[in-house]
Amino acid sequence: MNTPTWKYCYWLDDANLAKLKKEMEEKGKPFIRAEKNPCEILLAEAGFAEPDSWKVICKHDAATWYDSSKFKGKNLVISSLPLENSYEPFLETTISPVDFNPSDMPSKQQMEALASDPHFLTVNRRTGMISRKKWVNRS
């Protein structure tokens, strides 16, 4: 099964990001900067998310992953087309569409039971508000 690639994902240091920005500008290609959410760049032909963008909307979920990952301090670059060969060492993954359909989905009652399971909830002692626990990958 040969599925076409939808997006190419690279992790660049600041020097290589500056080089790529210059190349994109010289070619007249749009290169979108994520403002509040790294996922914004998925909607563009090409874009980048700087380290500070993870702490805006994603501060409670994806930012915890980013901060503990080997990519901390790097810039995420996503493109609909592969970048030039000089950027190949920074290619981390590709995203391809799939037609996956699960064979079975939980019922509404099962989802409600999971959503109220104390193993997945935490109470803020100061405000009394209930929220999902934050999971951090420690590997």
Cβ atoms of residues 10 and 91 within 8 Å: yes
pLDDT confidence of residue 50: 96
Residue 64 has a pLDDT of 87
Instruction: Give whole-number Cα distances, 125 to 60, 85, 115, 122, 130, in Å.
Output: 17, 52, 20, 9, 9
* Rounded Cα gap, residues 92 and 27, in angstroms: 24
What tokens appear for 138 in the block? 């420690």
Say yes or no to pLDDT of 65 above 80.
yes
Q: pTM of the predicted model, to two decimals?
A: 0.72
Please tell me the least confidently modeled range out of 10-24, 32-46, 101-115: 101-115
38 or 112, which is more confident? 38
Q: Where are the domains of the chain?
A: 7-95
Write the pLDDT tens digit of every residue in 26-63: 999 999 999 988 999 999 999 999 999 998 888 778 88
